[in-house]
């Protein structure tokens, strides 16, 4: 395969993957606590360290695209909701929640209560108290302080766990706003974030920035497509005309 053609195909595939990431970010622009994905690319020259996809005796791949998808953990905008069960984290840290697969972590603080008064996420997962227990909120007046202490009708009802991990974070997404450590044995530490009751953290996706990136990626894809067509036209011309010489 012509080296220029392979580079153009590689660029087209990379732009398609980037469009998938951007589209997912835009789809979650209104998801509380959502952390956007981003991509970086690295061009690698095929050789002994990075062997080509086909044997050297055949047409080798001269360039390989290595993409890296990573999570941007920057805080989203915090807005007032007035709902006493809406909680935002001001600073580094995560809420701990119990899922069927184990403990997961989130900054999506639009909580609610179940029929028995258990504090749960919008997906129905119980929010963990310090120590891992569930939190019961049964009363008319709920107050939550900056450290997570819960008071219901003037009586203590536990404390919400706020945890953090060593940086840089090495976590993977499960769902739109839940995270689990890439290393299941990763140790947690006390989070330094303060809880703001009656506030909610929004998605950190900037719509204008994502739209600009989408336009740039579309144009890049179109440019790669034109290059591919150009090489295809040259190959066709060579096959049809040079063969007559």
Which pLDDT score is estimated for 65?
57
What pLDDT band is residue 54 in, cutting at 50, 70 and 90? Answer: very low
CB 129 within 8 A of CB 95: no
Residues 161-218: tens digit of each pLDDT: 999 999 999 999 998 899 999 998 888 999 899 999 999 999 999 999 999 999 998 9
- The yes-or-no verdict on residue 24 having pLDDT over 80 is yes
CB 163 within 8 A of CB 151: no
Which pLDDT score is estimated for 4?
65
CB 90 within 8 A of CB 78: yes
The Cα-based distances of 217 to 71, 114, 153, 170, 243 in angstroms read 19, 44, 54, 27, 38
Mean pLDDT of the region 122-141: 90
Give the chain's mean pLDDT.
85
Q: Look up the pTM and report it.
A: 0.80
Angle (deg, nearest 10), helices 207-241 and 3-27: 150
| Cα–Cα distance, 85 to 112 (Å, whole number) | 6
Residues 81-108: tens digit of each pLDDT: 989 999 999 999 999 999 999 999 999 9
Within its chain, how far is the Cα of 219 from the centroid? 24
Residues 5-22: tens digit of each pLDDT: 667 777 788 888 899 999
| Cα–Cα distance, 90 to 121 (Å, whole number) | 19
Which pLDDT score is estimated for 45?
53
Tokens of 146: 């900056």
Which pLDDT score is estimated for 127?
96
């Amino acid at each position: 395969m012509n080296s220029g053609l392979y580079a153009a195909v590689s660029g087209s595939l990379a732009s398609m993957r980037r469009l998938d990431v951007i589209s997912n970010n835009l789809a979650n622009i209104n998801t509380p606590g959502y952390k956007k994905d981003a991509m970086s690319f690295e061009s690698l020259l095929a050789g002994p360290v990075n062997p080509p996809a086909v044997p050297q005796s055949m047409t080798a791949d001269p360039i390989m695209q290595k993409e890296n998808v990573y999570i941007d953990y920057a805080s989203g905008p915090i807005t007032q909701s007035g709902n006493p069960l809406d909680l935002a984290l001001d600073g580094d840290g995560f809420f701990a929640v119990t899922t069927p697969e184990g403990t997961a972590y989130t900054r999506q603080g639009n909580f609610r209560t179940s029929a028995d008064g258990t504090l749960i996420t919008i997906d129905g997962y119980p929010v963990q108290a310090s120590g891992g227990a569930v939190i019961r909120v049964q009363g008319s007046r709920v107050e939550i302080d900056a450290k997570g202490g819960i008071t219901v009708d003037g009586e203590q009802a536990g404390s919400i766990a706020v945890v953090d991990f060593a940086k840089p974070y090495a976590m993977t997404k499960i769902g739109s706003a839940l995270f689990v450590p890439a290393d299941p044995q990763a140790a947690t530490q006390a989070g330094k974030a303060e809880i703001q009751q009656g506030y909610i953290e929004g998605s950190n996706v900037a719509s204008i920035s994502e739209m600009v990136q989408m336009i740039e990626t579309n144009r890049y894809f179109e440019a790669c497509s034109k290059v591919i067509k150009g090489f295809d036209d040259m190959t066709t011309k060579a096959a049809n005309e040079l063969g007559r010489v």
